[in-house]
Amino acid sequence: MSEDFLKEVEHVSRLARLNLKPDEKEKVAGQLQSILGIAKKIQELDTTGVEPTSHVINLPAILREDVVRSSLPVDQVLLNAPKRNKNYFQVPRITAVE
């Protein structure tokens, strides 16, 4: 396994505030290397003449008409708020991770 994958796992786990043990970091780094290896193989496929698709079978888009209607009253929405500040949800401040 490459040291680069281990560094990426450490970086992402720090951003996600995950406390991974060294053996867990190794396992995730190995999985990441495997996934990216598969993606690299897929990129090497010759797709000349193959139309891009968003789905494996041709499905029509089922759309509904937009209907304008009233929103819920603010007081009713904020009944579910664990903490509120006037007419807003109040959430904890997010600080940067170093």
| Burial of 20 from C-beta contacts in 10 A (0-12 / 13-18 / 19+) | middle
pLDDT recorded at residue 67: 93
Separation of alpha carbons 29 and 35, rounded Å? 10
pLDDT recorded at residue 68: 94
| Alpha helices, DSSP H, located in the chain | 3-15, 22-43, 74-77
pLDDT tens-digit map of 35-69: 999 999 999 999 899 888 877 787 788 899 999 99
pLDDT recorded at residue 26: 93
All structural domains of the chain with their residue ranges: 3-43
Under a CB-based contact definition with an 8 Å cutoff, are residues 24 and 4 in contact? no
pLDDT recorded at residue 60: 82
CATH 3.50.50.60 for domain 3-43, yes or no, is no
- Would you say the pTM of this structure is higher than 0.85? no
